[in-house]
């Protein structure tokens, strides 16, 4: 390799590096200083079933179950030491829980144990 070629290559990679550094500082300057509000997702309770039965969310998302049946229903976590558990929900009543840790959270209705659902909490969901 001739010395002039080596110098040229060095100059090109230097330019690329400068470009990457400039882009990073630009991206950092554009990043919002206030975190976006946490997402909220709704699960309908209808016809003795949870809709959707399986819900994928990102950590920090609040899930609100809304009873749209004439029957009384509950929302009870099946494990994790019953991490969340609603009181009996009459028609139109709702229950919310914010999921912070990744994991799979199966739940059921304690009045009708055949009613089951799961919240899947994973980054990027
Ligand atoms: Cu029920």
117's tokens: 């659902």
Contacts (Cβ under 8 Å, ≥6 apart) of 63: 40, 41, 42, 43, 55, 57, 96, 97, 98, 99, 119
What SS3 state is found at 77?
A: strand
Question: Model confidence over 31-62: pLDDT tens digits?
Answer: 555 555 569 999 999 999 999 999 999 999 99
- Residue 116: DSSP 8-state: E
> Higher confidence at residue 8 or residue 105?
105
For 72-95, write each residue's pLDDT tens digit. 999 999 998 889 999 999 999 999
- Residue 100: the pLDDT is 95
- Split at pLDDT 50, 70, 90, the class of 102 is very high
CA of 87 to the centre of ligand 1 (A): 12
CATH topology for the 40-121 domain: Immunoglobulin-like (2.60.40)
pLDDT of 12 > 50? The answer is no
Ligand 1 centroid distance, CA of 39 (Å): 26
Separation in Å, CA 115 to CA 16, 47, 68, 74: 58, 10, 14, 10
- Who surrounds ion ligand 1 at CB < 5 A? 73, 109, 111-112, 115
pLDDT > 90? residue 115: yes
Look at strands 54-57 and 116-121 and give their pairing: parallel
* 19, pLDDT greater than 70: no
Ligand 1 centre distance from Cα of residue 114 (Å): 8
Please give the distance, rounded to the nearest whole angstrom, from the Cα atom of residue 120 to the centre of ligand 1.
21
Distance 75 CA to ligand 1 centre (A): 8
pLDDT of 97 over the 60 cut:
yes
């Amino acid at each position: 390799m001739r010395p002039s070629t080596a110098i040229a290559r060095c100059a090109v990679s230097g330019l690329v590096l400068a470009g990457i550094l400039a882009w990073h500082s630009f991206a950092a300057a554009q990043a919002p200083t206030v975190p976006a509000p946490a997402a909220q997702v709704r699960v309908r309770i209808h016809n003795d079933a949870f809709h959707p039965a399986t819900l994928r969310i990102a950590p920090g998302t609040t899930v609100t179950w809304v009873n749209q049946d004439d029957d009384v229903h509950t929302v009870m976590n099946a494990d994790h030491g019953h991490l969340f558990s609603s009181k009996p929900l009459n028609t139109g009543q709702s229950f919310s829980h914010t999921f912070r840790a990744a994991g799979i959270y199966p739940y059921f209705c304690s009045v009708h144990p055949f009613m089951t659902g799961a919240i899947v909490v994973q980054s990027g969901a």
